[in-house]
Chains A and B, each alone.
Chain A
């Protein structure tokens, strides 16, 4: 988890409330990713960013938005949380060049009641 911090690590919220998860990196990597992980589904890509203000959708982007105003921060927002968004969320970073290996954060466990 070196160089990647996810906050908060745990959150419980109610249906219909907005939620923002933060991913912060100190590696100056170009690419940042948000995944969700649910039992039986493995890791699914929500959104990713290939630079400041440059983002693209992943496999399961409905209900999520992202923003990247600085190289080091990638925010994931649930505008109106639903119970189906209860999950573990992982942030990852990669350099985008050469081997492009991804490094993952410790995860955020989100419960929407």
Chain B
């Protein structure tokens, strides 16, 4: 199982771009990279997923280098409501199976 490493916490201000990097050195060929957001007292919520290169949706962008040993979640122009814990998860694809979460990154957005 691919282990992930993320910063424990990050601080930002409203309107700034936030980049959270996740390391996953032993990612397998068929593994996807998925990011989730979790607010207090709620279950995690899917944000974005990618396999390689760059993926963008209405919420975020995900940058994945060619070696796929890391990935960066980019949140453009954050607001106070983006204060949450962000998890990087590696695995899935067509295998399903064990999906192990890392510690997550606690993002605090200040006014």
Segment of B18-26, B44-52, B56-64, B75-83 in the binding face: B44-52
What are 11 pairs between A and B in contact, CB < 8 Å?
Answer: A1-B43, A48-B99, A59-B100, A90-B44, A94-B99, A97-B96, A99-B49, A100-B92, A100-B94, A100-B95, A100-B99
| Interface size classification for chain A | 20 to 34
**B side interface size, CB within 8 A:** 27
Q: Does A96 interact with chain B (Cβ within 8 Å)?
A: yes
Instruction: Bits for B32-43, please: 1 = Cβ < 8 Å to A, else 0.
Output: 101010000111
Residues of A within 8 A of B97 (CB): 31, 48, 50, 56
B49-A101 in contact (CB<8A): yes
Interface string of A48-91 (1 = CB under 8 A from B): 10100000101100000000000000000000000000000010
Most buried by B among A42, A48, A90: A42
Kindly identify which residue among B45, B99, B103, B104 contacts A45, using a CB–CB cutoff of 8 Å. B99
- A99 cross-chain contacts in B, Cβ below 8 A: 32, 34, 49, 92
**CB-defined contacts of A105 to chain B, threshold 8 Å:** 43
Q: How many A-B residue pairs have CB under 8 A?
A: 76
Say whether chain B's binding surface is mostly helix, strand, loop, or mixed: loop
Q: How far apart sit A44 and B101, CA to CA, in the bound complex (Å)?
A: 7
Interchain CA distance A8-B45 in the complex, whole Å = 21
A46 CB to closest chain B CB (Å) equals 11
A59 to B92 CA separation, bound complex (whole angstroms): 17
Given contacts A92-B43, A101-B34, A104-B45, contact A48 B98 (CB under 8 A): yes
Which residue, B32, B85, B92, B102, has most C-beta atoms of chain A within 10 A? B92
A113 at the interface (CB under 8 A from B): no
- What separation, in Å, do the CA atoms of A41 and B87 have in the docked complex? 12
With CB as the reference atom, state the residue of chain A lying closest to B94.
A97
- Chain A CB count within 10 A is highest, among B43, B49, B97, B103, for B43
A101 to B, closest residue via Cβ: B46
- The distance in angstroms between the C-alpha atoms of A42 and B5, with both chains bound, is 13
Contact B41 A102 (CB under 8 A): no
